[in-house]
Amino acid sequence: MTLKKLKTHFAESLKGLYPSEEILSFFHILAEEYLKLSRIEIALNPEKIVSETEIEKFQKAILRLQNHEPLQYITGKTEFYGLPFKVNKHTLIPRPETEELVEWIYREFSNQQSTINNHQFLDIGTGSGCIAISLAKNLPNAKASALDISEEALKIAQQNAEINKVEVDFIQMDILKTKTLPKKYDVIISNPPYVRELEKKQMQQNVLKYEPPSALYVSNEDPFLFYEKIASLAKNHLNQNGKLFFEINEYLAFELTTLLEGQGFKNMQVKKDIFGKDRMIKCNLNEPAR
């Protein structure tokens, strides 16, 4: 089979399941992964013969895509904040809004590189390690730690730290059961589960069927379960002037702000993502507003 015919077969097999532009993007990503061919090389060599082994790889990918499996799980990797990351069924696929959270934190501290030497950052619920690793890469004077309940997720996170040549102290811990954190920190960050069961109907099939539910969902009755516990721990484990950053449910910013203020946090700042949704909160202890 030629590249041209393979491309046509791929597009026809997924027609109606995904937008045509997305299908084309899938094909080029897989072509680079399986054939080591760039988009330009594909365009210049439409009659290139594809081997049976390579065709079989594409066919398996087609079947998985027809079942709405995320492409990132098929290739086993993704990009986040300009860095390469491995992902699998034990880790969430990092989202663009989480990149915005990392960018907010980076901008907060990037001009203080000379003064944040040995500052301690903790990422709670790290998953693939994307937040901690991205900050460790871009704020090399800081010390990054990350924890997660999942041993399998932490294995991937450790591999990602090695791929990106950064040091992160990874810790396996159930945040809901712990009464204390390993030490004190200058910054605590978390993108905890925050999607309520009632919001599942808004989720796409690839998320519902494949991404780890324990990293996504909370009950309708207790949507702040993780925020409340993390804030409680942060009160005792943030250094003076320490900051707390959360990614949040867009519908619950006001309620979460009220909860955090009740826990003694000050200087609340809610930040919208590029789509205008309330998606991040920053607050602190014992620091005057700027």
User: Does 82 appear as a known binding residue?
Assistant: no
User: Does 128 appear as a known binding residue?
Assistant: yes
Residue 232 near residue 256 (C-beta atoms within 8 A): no
Residue 235 burial class via C-beta count within 10 angstroms: exposed 0-12, middle 13-18, buried 19 and up: middle
User: Does 126 appear as a known binding residue?
Assistant: yes
Residues in the chain: 290
User: Does 193 appear as a known binding residue?
Assistant: yes
- HSE at residue 275, side-chain half, CA atoms within 13 A, is 8
User: Does 262 appear as a known binding residue?
Assistant: no
Distance between CA atoms of residues 101 and 245, nearest Å: 8
| Residue numbering of the annotated binding site for S-adenosyl-L-methionine | 125-129, 148, 191
| Residue numbering of the annotated binding site | 125-129, 148, 191-194
| Residue numbering of the annotated binding site for substrate | 191-194
